[in-house]
A = this chain, B = another copy of it.
Amino acid sequence: MGEINYRNYIEEKLRCGGYKLTTQRLNMIKVIYKNNRHMSADEIYSEVKDKKIGLTTVYRNLMIFEEIGVVRKISITNINYYELDIMNEYKVHIHTKCSKCNKIMDVNEVEVTEEYLSLIKNLKKKFKIAVESISVVVAESCENCNLKLEVRR
């Protein structure tokens, strides 16, 4: 979805939920869109606070965004991270977090997703559960940190 269109998309989503598109809300979306990664409430706040907004509002709007399906929340080591739920069709979501540099990476590659979907299908079948959302967190050492490790030796 292009930068021109997502504004309308967000506005529509908000309207459906009975909410309005305010300047603060748009600025928050812009920041998450621009960064294109998982951001904590605090990270988002630090990039919008020049534009007249309080941390409370950031939290409150993130809750609304999640409710209307505009952002997705994942909880990693007791911190909530948010990402835009606009661009991807996949409900599947795999995150990896490097235990050294704390970088969070999105895994949305089709090949992996295929296997993932089949895993979920079997989960549903075997345990008769209605899967609503999925979050996989893989603690790992990322390529970058592994390289550094090798250099150090």
Q: Are B140 and A131 in contact (CB under 8 A)?
A: yes
Q: Which B residues are CB-close (under 8 A) to A133? A: 138-139
Q: Are B138 and A123 in contact (CB under 8 A)?
A: yes
Determine the interface band of chain A, counting residues with CB < 8 A from chain B. 35 or more
Oligomeric state, in number of copies?
2
Q: Are A128 and B107 in contact (CB under 8 A)?
A: no
Q: Does A78 contact B (CB under 8 A)?
A: yes
With A75-B77, A135-B137 in contact, is A130–B146 under 8 Å at CB?
Answer: yes
Segment of A4-12, A13-21, A50-58, A112-120 engaged in the interface with chain B: A112-120
Smallest CB gap from A131: residue in B: B140
Q: Does A122 contact B (CB under 8 A)?
A: yes
Q: Does A35 contact B (CB under 8 A)?
A: no
Q: How far is the CA of A59 from the CA of B1 in the complex (A)?
A: 46
Where the two chains meet, the residues of A that have a C-beta atom closer than 8 Å to any C-beta of B are 75-80, 94, 96, 98-99, 105, 107, 109, 111-112, 115-116, 118-120, 122-123, 126-143, 146
